Structure 1
Amino acid sequence: MITVLFFAQVRERLGCAQIEVPFNDEVTTAESLRQHLAQRDEKWQQVLIADKLLVAVDQTMCDWQTPLTDNSEVAFFPPVTGG
């Protein structure tokens, strides 16, 4: 299983903080997971296909081609600012 976490506005817009997704041959990268989840419905598609969405795998910021394994933890979140 892949644990998927949603933070900040992503969590608020989806109404969901965490889900589990089976690891399989179709979900092998952060991008393929995003595409898989976006197929749920229009709201999920709008939130997850946003240009500025960020992703982390196993608590490390990464790009969309980062490979996933069984038991990966993937987090989706909007850009953050500080100061």
Structure 2
Amino acid sequence: MSVTILYFASLREALGRSEEHFDLPPGVATVGALRESLCARGGDWTALAPGKAVRAAVNQELAQAAVSIKAGDEIAFFPPVTGG
């Protein structure tokens, strides 16, 4: 089951990529589980660790960790944005 993952702003810079096509490992069916799976890569990927200030969207709708993901979804990760 493949999804597209987009990385924005400081995450894009830290990870050195703006997107990737990713085959979901067995058992990875939520935004939170995907984040943990990516974080397990280690190194710069710990920028996605639970507890870090990272927002997510699934198919351009803000999503919490418990939101389910399915084949073909577009998942975006980005830091919170403030104005001022």
Shared fold (TM-score greater than 0.5)? Answer: yes
Partner of 1:76: 77
Match of residue 30 from structure 1: 31
**What's 1:48 paired with?**
48
Shift of 1:21: 1.0
Deviation at 1:79, TM superposition (A): 0.4
Specify the alignment match of 1:3 in structure 2.
4
Tell me the residue number matched to 1:19: 20
- Give the drift of 1:13: 0.7
After the TM superposition, list the runs of 4 or more consecutive aligned residues in structure 1 that deviate by more than 4 angstroms.
none
Deviation sequence 1:4-63 (CA, Å, 0-9, x none): 000000000111100111134322000111111111122102x10152110000100010
Q: CA RMSD in A?
A: 1.3
Unmatched runs of 5 consecutive residues or more in structure 1: none
Residue 59 (structure 2) aligns with: 58
Query: Any unmatched runs of 5+ in structure 2?
Result: none
- Paired with 2:43 and 2:66, the residues of 1 have a C-alpha distance of 23
Aligned residues: 82
Percent identity reads 35
Q: Could you tell me the TM-score, scaled by structure 1's length?
A: 0.90
Matched AA of 1:2: V
Letter in 1 for 2:48: L
